[in-house]
Amino acid sequence: MNKKIKQLFKEIPTAEPSNKLYGKILFAIEKDKQIKRKIGFWFFAFTTILAFLSLIPAILYLLANLSSSGFYRYISLIFSDTEILLSNWKDYSMTLIESVPFAQITICFSIIFLILCLLKMLANSLPKKLLN
What's the whole-number average pLDDT of the chain? 87
Judged by DSSP in three states, 14 sits in coil
CA distance 54 to 57: 6
The structural domains of the chain, with segments of one domain joined by +, span 54-126
Query: 60-107 pLDDT, tens per residue?
Result: 999 999 889 888 888 888 888 888 888 888 998 898 899 899 999 999
Count CA atoms within 13 Å of residue 96 on its CB side. Answer: 14
Q: What is the pLDDT of residues 94-109, one digit of tens each?
A: 988 998 999 999 999 9
100: left (phi over 0), alpha (psi -120 to 50) or beta: beta
CB 52 within 8 A of CB 115: yes
